[in-house]
Amino acid sequence: MKQQQKIVWSGADERKRQSKPFDGEKVYDACIIGGGVIGCAIARELSRWQLSLGLLEMRSDVSEGTSKANSAIIHAGYDAKPGSEKARTNVAGNQLFEPLCRELHVPFRRNTSLVVAFSSDGLAGLRELKSRGEINGVDGLSILSQAELRRREPAIGPSAAGALLAETGGICSPYELTIALAAHAVLNGLDLQLNCKVGQIRHDGRWFHLQTSRGPVRCQVLINAAGVYADTIHNQLSRQPIEITPRRGEYWLLDKSVSDAFSATIFQLPTAMGKGILVSPTVDGTMLLGPTAEDIDDKDDVRTTAQRLDEILRVAAKTWPDLPRGQFITSFAGLRAHARQNDFILGEVADCPGLINAAGIESPGLTAAPAIGIELARLAARRLNAPRRSQWQPAWQPPQPFRLMETEQRARAVRDNPAWGRIICRCEQVTEAEIRAAINRPVGAATVDGIKRRTRAGMGRCQASFCTPRVLAILSEELGVSRLELTKFGNGSRILTGRIGETVRSHEPPAADAAAGGLEVSHD
């Protein structure tokens, strides 16, 4: 077993490496498939041991799948079936979440959650949830009367009859957490490989041999955290197949102007398909409605539909009758990896030693991620008989956002670096300095969406209609590539189609005079 060489992320050079074929076979002691919050939580914990560690992510960035499009809720743990993996890891993960976010410099708020009954018949359901939560070991559960609920949340609908209060409920930024987990792991030796799609896999009894889109990979322990594709990985190696169904959930997002409508996350009584339509503040000050729950066949289908978005509005109106429909700024959808047994699939596969599953991770997977990361990292380290590292680098701390600085802090920042004084995203007050730092940080951005998730540039009211050309210009300069090559989220999602003069000439008859200029279509 060899000590993994520390890899330092260096902006443009590192991003260029991430698009090239491997120089020969990659060999690791342990390799993780999947760069979502689960895979990155495992990677961070496993970087505490002396071993060579890789992570393969098929997309252009971490947190590009389920981890970027979910409810961002830290669940208390009252809903999961007692004795299930969901119940066990939810409660454990909830207790780990606040110190983890503090260590990684990720926003987190324990805003509490309320499950609301909208009829007297529903009060029995609240008592059942409370009893289930107490069996699961959840602290801070109580039933609120109608009057107590209305004092806490005056905007709640008139038919609300009572609520289950969960004091340990919270909210976080799931994509910021995933990026921070990956960055901390990279600082401690993780070899992160993006744009690396895994194809065929075989096991020779000692080594796993993987064919990927960037070249061959070999490892002794293989950790399957591939989200909706986890069954594709598992079923190549085990005679006991698993089945993962993509469950699509659609959401509405509202502007910060309505951020004070509710302080707690408001649930309606859950159903067999999930926890229902919620109304929740976010750590960034916006308001979130959703999700729907629709089982589909396509593992990449994240489109939104008029029917499902209308469903959210209809159901959410019971919680929020005065829902301000003029304050919506965007809608989106994400996929949950639903396993047939309706529980997480965790641990080493019985008929394939060295294959460790983190499969079927749907809600409350975000909450459970810290606990799953610790548990499966320890399992992998024991199988490899790896010693603990004597030193572990602390997490990288991003610069404080300009929008959160006091006046004196802003003035000092601008004096030290004038780029702090140039606002690129007006809606979210994101500066040029923050965008450049987001590119050159550990696990830095190389796409417009990558910038968005690290700085909030483009997440505001105008949804990037003002700042996109300027973000492209900075990405082009820092990465040393043409703006024509830059994408929204990788995988061919180019934003610019050509230069104005060249585009005009390509569409004119040969005899036409096309002596136009050569400006890129970027509105700079």
Q: Write out pLDDT tens, residues 440-452.
A: 999 999 999 999 9
**Residues 354 and 368 reside in one and the same domain:** yes
Structural tokens at position 222: 């293989």
**Residues 16 and 142 reside in one and the same domain:** no
Q: Could you tell me if 84 and 64 are in contact, meaning their C-beta atoms sit under 8 angstroms apart? A: no
DSSP state of 396: P
Max Cα distance, the chain (Å) = 80
pLDDT band at 521 (very low <50, low <70, confident <90, very high): very low
Q: What percentage of residues in the chain have a pLDDT greater than 70?
A: 91
Please provide residue 77's backbone torsions phi and psi, each rounded to the nearest 5 degrees: 115, 15
Structural tokens at position 97: 């979440």
Handedness of CA 446, 447, 450, 452 (dihedral sign): positive
**507 assigned to some structural domain:** no
Handedness of CA 358, 362, 368, 369 (dihedral sign): positive
Choose the final residue of a domain: 316, 336, 356. 336
DSSP state of 118: S
Residue spans of beta strands (DSSP E) within 237-386: 244-254, 265-268, 278-281, 287-290, 294-295, 328-339, 345-348, 355-359
**234 assigned to some structural domain:** yes
Q: Of 17, 64, 16, 9, whose CA–CA distance to 40 is shortest?
A: 64
Which residue range(s) make up the domain with 479?
402-502
**Residues 30 and 104 reside in one and the same domain:** yes
Q: Read off the CATH number of the domain in which 122 is found.
A: 3.30.9.10
b/e 227-244 (16+ beta carbons within 10 angstroms → b):
bbbbbbbbebbbeeebeb
Helix (H, G, I), strand (E, B) or coil at 452: helix
pLDDT band at 276 (very low <50, low <70, confident <90, very high): confident
Q: What percentage of residues in the chain have a pLDDT greater than 90?
A: 89
Identity of the amino acid at 262: F
DSSP state of 329: E
DSSP letters along 334-347, please? EEEEEETTSS-EEE
**Residues 120 and 99 reside in one and the same domain:** no
Angle at the Cα of 325 from the Cα atoms of 425 and 115, rounded to 5 degrees:
100
Average pLDDT, the chain: 93
Q: Could you tell me if 487 and 448 are in contact, meaning their C-beta atoms sit under 8 angstroms apart? A: yes
Choose the final residue of a domain: 350, 369, 397. 397
**Residues 328 and 363 reside in one and the same domain:** no
**219 assigned to some structural domain:** yes
* Residue that the structure tokens 């700079």 belong to: 524
* Residue that the structure tokens 């499009």 belong to: 69
Handedness of CA 184, 190, 195, 199 (dihedral sign): negative
* Cis preceding-peptide flag for 291 (omega within 30 of 0): yes
* Residues with Cβ within 8 Å of residue 134, at least 6 apart in sequence: 141
**Residues 96 and 189 reside in one and the same domain:** yes
**Active site (annotated) includes residue 75:** yes
**516 assigned to some structural domain:** no
CB atoms within 10 A of CB 179: 31
**493 assigned to some structural domain:** yes
Number of alpha helices (DSSP H) and beta strands (DSSP E) in the chain: 14, 22
pLDDT band at 507 (very low <50, low <70, confident <90, very high): low
- For 32, 206, 229, the CA distances from 376, given in Å and listed in that order, are 11, 19, 19
**Residues 256 and 233 reside in one and the same domain:** no
**524 assigned to some structural domain:** no
Q: Read off the CATH number of the domain in which 22 is found.
A: 3.50.50.60
**Alpha helices (runs of H) in 83-165, residue ranges in sequence order:** 85-104, 122-136, 146-152
**Residues 103 and 122 reside in one and the same domain:** no
pLDDT band at 270 (very low <50, low <70, confident <90, very high): confident
pLDDT in tens, 134-173: 999 999 999 999 999 999 999 999 999 999 999 999 999 9
pLDDT of amino acid 274: 60
Q: How many independent structural domains does the chain possess?
A: 3
**Residues 13 and 162 reside in one and the same domain:** no
* Residues with Cβ within 8 Å of residue 17, at least 6 apart in sequence: none
Of how many residues is the chain composed? 524
CB atoms within 10 A of CB 452: 26
Q: Of 395, 32, 390, 78, whose CA–CA distance to 191 is shortest?
A: 32
Quote the CA–CA distance of 105 and 107 in Å, as a whole number: 7
Q: Could you tell me if 340 and 72 are in contact, meaning their C-beta atoms sit under 8 angstroms apart? A: no
**90 assigned to some structural domain:** yes
pLDDT of amino acid 518: 37
**486 assigned to some structural domain:** yes
pLDDT of amino acid 40: 99
Lowest-confidence region among 60-74, 142-156, 496-510: 496-510
Q: Could you tell me if 496 and 521 are in contact, meaning their C-beta atoms sit under 8 angstroms apart? A: yes
pLDDT of amino acid 7: 41
Instruction: Flag whether pLDDT at 8 surpasses 90.
Output: no
**Residues 347 and 256 reside in one and the same domain:** no
Angle at the Cα of 469 from the Cα atoms of 466 and 470, rounded to 5 degrees:
90
Mean pLDDT over 196-200 rounds to 98
pLDDT of amino acid 524: 36
**Residues 132 and 254 reside in one and the same domain:** yes
**Residues 256 and 210 reside in one and the same domain:** no
Quote the CA–CA distance of 31 and 51 in Å, as a whole number: 10
pLDDT in tens, 225-236: 999 999 999 999
Choose the final residue of a domain: 397, 416, 435. 397
Mean pLDDT over 26-37 rounds to 99
pLDDT of amino acid 500: 83
